[in-house]
Amino acid sequence: MPEPRHPTSLDEELLEAESYAILSELTDAQRLLRIQDELRAGFARLSHIGKAVSVFGSARTPRDHPRYAAARNLARRLGEEGYAIITGGGPGIMEAANRGARDAGAPSIGLGIDLPHERSLNEYVEVGLTFHYFFTRKVMFVRYASGFVVYPGGFGTLDELFEAATLRQTQKIRYFPIVLAGSDYWSGLVDWLRSTVEADGNVGPADVRSLVVADTVEDVLETVEAVEHRRPRGQRRRAA
């Protein structure tokens, strides 16, 4: 059996703590303190941002790709409507959305994650936090957002998408729009959920309908604007 190695991240240190492959460098008491510190820091930095939208998508999308331009434009439009923009703080679609927020003068928030061989937050992040644990970071993405807009991406993007879908299905969150930007990318997934997963009885029709596919900025804005229940306290529209 090979000698155990040092963990490359605190997530690995936590999740592999009982295995022979990784050296345990912290006690459970120390781990709990670190988790508590991350949650406390997130709550303190984000508690006053007002209404916001979390935008997800591939870190591999180059700046000259049409999706980069689309995400930047959407974030700018959302910013002009008074929304802060929250992303994972990385390159690609995340950078585009933070850049669009800056174009509009809206709060541009990046919630980074400590990963091996990853660079720091993108240059368009105004309010930046770096998390060691994926699960503490996920709390911030949902708690402070009025909804998710999900551009094409890989496992990380799908993880955030289905995390939100599960929270909606189990009613841990309510009235939370999940918008999939780009029917050319997402329609196959939604069709499969409907024709296979729903048909097999593993989800209900309402679960699939909770994923809104949109191709225009106007459709995204309409979906997000319709959800008054997700406004922060004191920021709901006044009756005319």
Among the ranges given (77-91, 109-123, 172-186, 192-206), the one the predictor scored with the smallest mean pLDDT? 109-123
Residue 4 lies in a domain: no
| Cβ atoms of residues 225 and 53 within 8 Å | no
Residue 28 lies in a domain: no
State how far the Cα of 212 lies from the Cα of 198, in Å rounded to an integer.
16
Res 228: pLDDT: 61
Q: How many domains does the chain have?
A: 1
Burial 43-67 (b: 16+ CB within 10 A, else e): eebbeebebbbbbbbbbebeeebeb
**What is the overall mean pLDDT for the chain?**
90
Residue 238 lies in a domain: no
Residue 22 lies in a domain: no
**Residue 49 or 11, more confident:** 49
Can you give the CATH number for the domain in which 160 is found? 3.40.50.450
Residue 7 lies in a domain: no
Residue 46 lies in a domain: yes
How far is the CA of 99 from the CAs of 29, 60, 124, 184, in angstroms? Answer: 39, 16, 5, 24
Question: Domain residues for 175?
Answer: 37-230
Residue 23 lies in a domain: no
Res 234: pLDDT: 54
65 φψ region: left (φ > 0), alpha (ψ -120 to 50), beta (else): beta
pTM of the entire predicted model:
0.89
Residue 156 lies in a domain: yes
**Residue 159 or 10, more confident:** 159
Res 18: pLDDT: 77
Give residue-wise pLDDT tens across range 44-97: 999 989 899 999 999 999 999 999 999 999 999 999 999 999 999 999 999 999
**Residue 4 or 168, more confident:** 168
